[in-house]
Amino acid sequence: MTFLAPAFLAGLLAIGLPLWLHRLSSTNPNRQAFSSLMFLEAGEPRRVLAKKLQYLLLLALRIALLVLLALAFAQPAWFTTPSAAAGEDAELHLVVVDASASMSHGERWQRARQAAEDALAEMSGDDRGQIVAAARTAELVTDATADGAVLRQGLDTIEPTAFRVDYGRLSRALEGILRDAELPVVLHFVTDAQQTAMPTRFAELAPRMPATLRIHDVAGEDDANWAVESFGGSPLSGELQATVRSFADAEADKTLRLELNGTVAEERSVTLAPGGRRDVEFDALELRPGPNRVTVTLEPGDALEVDDRRYLAMKRPEPRSVLIVSGGGARSGDDVFVGAALETLGALALDTTSIAVSALSGETLADYSFVVVTDAGTLGEGEAARLGEYVESGGGLLLALGPRSSGLAAVPVTGQSVQTGAGMSMRGGEFEAVGEVDASHPALRGIDELRSGKFFRYVRLEPGPEDDVLAALDGGAPLLVERRVGAGRTLVYASTLDRQWNDLPVQPVFVPFIAGLANHLLGGAGFSAEAELGSTLAIRAMGMEGGQIFDPEGEPALGLGGGTGDVVLEQVGFYEVVGGGRSEIVAVNPDPRESDLAAVDAATIERWQGLGFTDETATGAAAGAETAEIPVSLGPWLLFLLVAAVLMESLVGNWHLRVRRGIAT
């Protein structure tokens, strides 16, 4: 016997209330005018005796009601043996099938199917079986059942995937299944025992719940493999490089075929030494405007097809012109850091021009891809109006709020309100760091180091409902705000782009930060797009407000929760994101670690199996499972008694009141 919520037993203290009321009610309710009348003859003894008996019964019922109420909340429970209904020797055969990419090599999958069927054949009597597929996650294929036909039908639905399995994570994922098992568990793990799938700590392989562990190694000796290990290049020059690796004991002659948008562009022959690696460079490609699908294929193929090809999405950035408007003039120096950062972004091919605010009226803004203003406070009405027209027609604008912005009532072009005395200054050596960052926004992906900057002064903005706050200081003040203006976009930065108000320009993160802002203002103009298999792709992360994602087979990808917004990348190849009048391509490749098919040795597998319950202790495990503490709540019975006590208390209470009224009269 135990209590599932013993803290509620403190409610038993409430039984003191009816005891106290009992003492108050025990006096005679008929008051006498003179105290000397107390010497007169008492009332009828039988009536007083009846009153006492009725009151004590009511007291007992009220105490019982409070006790039952406290116990109902405390949830007393008794324990039962879960295997009693299925028989003393019944077991659950949990068959976990490794469905990682390496399992598709040669005849491994056929051997895995046979090993799983052999494991199910061990079931007898009242045994039950259950199938689990291990790939990106541990997926329950069937419920626990004694029906062999259902189990084999579930086994037929499993196929090798392109994912990688980590044995340590898999062991943790199986804990919930083992914990809910109502029978002693025999855990059959059908796998190729890949060395690269082993966790850093061997102890992570141990199941934390009682289970007899049996490893079915289906690796065999056919582990020769050749793979394209990596593939990359420059979207600016079109130059590409692939790395090919051998996982075999024999020398092999291979051919690398390079394709651009489905057309063969070049072929290179390479000789791979046993266990060797070769880097192969290709001639520069003529990338077309927009996204390009580039693939490299290793021929002839081998028994593991998934790693014989790699994918790369490239979009050549055309040279873009950027105008930097210096807040204090062309020689003030407030444009030095941002100008240097933009010029280092070779992949974006940016050509920067710096001018003073006074020269802005003589520039044709349509010639520039985006404009940077280092201090919005220096803009006059005419300059602000020209920039507003430029943004509304589709241009991009980065507005920094420097010293001259402290007296503004509103930000030029965008119109956000500015608090009075906007130049917030820290006292002494105090500073604020970056707090919240919208890491899902395409302008800020992968730059968590932004928090390394120290901000000594800033302008406090009041964002409007149409604004997106992309970054804020740890005190809550907005630091980077985006607002759509017409067909264009603006980014308002509430501090300086030089060292006057912060030290971010001298931090290593400054260049990636400016690169992200520039790429976003260009509409995602130039980086190669590659995502990890199993990761989530969001349309918003591609700089689009809405659209559709198509998988490598050209079918609409089903989003999380049944929508189309966020999609789990479950296939190898090119995903296409279409929306807002443009298209983006994302390449997805398998984990290179799946290419190394080397398996752990027999001694390691024996140690691995020893982490579970061995055959010698299986009987003890079964006995322990028979006495496993599985609580069965007594709550329903207590509720029934509680309802009965309430009814009895009501009846006796009414009778008691009738007796008391009789005395009073």
The pair of structure tokens assigned to 406 is 């402290």
Tens-digit pLDDT profile for residues 178-192:
888 889 999 999 999
Residue 18 has pLDDT above 80, yes or no: no
Q: What pLDDT does residue 613 have?
A: 62
User: Cβ distance 337 to 385 under 8 Å?
Assistant: no
Cα distances from 405 to residues 319, 342, 484, 510, in angstroms, run 32, 24, 21, 22
pLDDT, mean of residues 121-134: 93
Residue 20 has what pLDDT?
63
Burial class, 546, CB count within 10 angstroms (exposed 0-12 / middle 13-18 / buried 19+): exposed
Closest CA to 297 of 243, 343, 353, 228: 228
pLDDT class of 623 with cuts at 50, 70, 90: very low
Exposed/middle/buried for 203, CB within 10 Å: 0-12, 13-18, 19+? exposed
Pick the residue with more confidence: 480 or 52?
Answer: 480
Q: State mean pLDDT over 233-257.
A: 88
> Is pLDDT above 70 for 337?
yes
Calculate mean pLDDT across residues 29-55: 48
Apex CA 201: angle with CA 196 and CA 203, to 5°?
115
Provide the 3-class DSSP secondary structure of residue 109: helix
What is the C-alpha to C-alpha distance for residues 362 and 372, in angstroms, rounded to an integer? 16
First vs last C-alpha separation in the chain: 51
Q: Determine how many CB atoms are found less than 10 A away from the CB of residue 200.
A: 6
From CA 549, how far away is CA 572, in angstroms rounded? 15
Q: Report the pLDDT value the prediction gives residue 350, as an integer from 0 to 100.
A: 84
At residue 619, the pLDDT reads 44
pLDDT tier at 645 (50, 70, 90 boundaries)? confident
Mean pLDDT over residues 372-393, rounded? 92
What's the average model confidence in pLDDT over 487-491? Answer: 89
Quick one: pLDDT at residue 503?
A: 92
Query: Is the pLDDT score of 209 beyond 60?
Result: yes
| pLDDT above 70 for 425 | no
pTM of the shown model: 0.59
Encoded tokens for 233: 């290049």
Closest CA to 444 of 518, 370, 372, 498: 518
Q: What pLDDT is stored for residue 62 in this prediction?
A: 78
Half-sphere exposure of 29 (CA within 13 A, CB side): 11
Q: Does the pLDDT at position 162 exceed 50? A: yes
Task: Determine the pLDDT at residue 578.
Answer: 85
* Among 416, 567, 548, 409, CA closest to 491: 416
Under the banding of pLDDT at 50, 70 and 90, the label for residue 622 is: very low
> Hey, which of 3-17, 34-48, 416-430, 642-656 has the most confident mean pLDDT?
642-656
Percentage of the residues of the chain whose pLDDT score is greater than 70: 80
pLDDT digits (tens, 9 = 90+) for 273-303: 999 999 999 998 888 877 899 999 999 999 9
Q: What is the mean pLDDT of residues 58-75?
A: 78
- Give the least confident one: 217-226, 289-298, 347-356, 606-615: 606-615
**Cβ(399)–Cβ(373) under 8 Å?**
yes
Q: What is the pLDDT of residues 52-64, one digit of tens each?
A: 444 677 778 778 8
pLDDT band at 10 (very low <50, low <70, confident <90, very high): confident
- Residue 79, pLDDT > 70, answer no
Query: In whole angstroms, what separates CA 224 from the centre of its chain?
Result: 36
Whether residue 28 contacts residue 52, with contact meaning beta carbons closer than 8 Å, is answered with no
The fraction of the chain above a pLDDT of 90, given in percent, is: 45
Higher confidence at residue 491 or residue 73? 491
Identify the structural domains of the chain with CATH numbers, from first to last: 2-80+634-664 (no CATH), 92-222+597-626 (3.40.50.410), 225-316 (2.60.40.10), 320-521 (3.40.50.880), 530-589 (no CATH)
Residues facing 215 on adjacent strands:
189
Edge to edge, the sheet with strand 185-191 lists: 138-140, 128-134, 92-98, 185-191, 212-217
Q: Which of these, 478, 473, 459, lies nearest to 431 by C-alpha position?
A: 473
Mean pLDDT for all residues in the chain: 82
Residue 454 and residue 134: Cα distance in Å, rounded?
46
| Radius of gyration of the CA atoms of the chain, in A | 38
Residue 410 has pLDDT above 70, yes or no: yes
The predicted structure's pLDDT at residue 310: 96
Rounded Cα gap, residues 341 and 350, in angstroms: 10
| pLDDT higher than threshold 90 for residue 132 | yes
Asked if residue 7 has pLDDT above 80, the reply is no
Mean pLDDT for the stretch of residues 84-100: 80
pLDDT at 580 over 80: no
Question: Checking DSSP bridges between strand 212-217 and strand 185-191, what pairing results, if any?
Answer: parallel
Mean pLDDT to the nearest integer, 227-245? 85
Residue 220 is predicted with a pLDDT of 81
DSSP assignment of 347-390 equals: GGTEEEEEEEGGGGGGS-GGG-SEEEES-GGG--HHHHHHHHHH
Predicted confidence band of residue 542 (pLDDT cuts 50, 70, 90): low
CA quadruple 605, 610, 615, 621: dihedral sign: negative
Residue of 507, 495, 516, 480 lying closest to 334 (CA atoms): 495
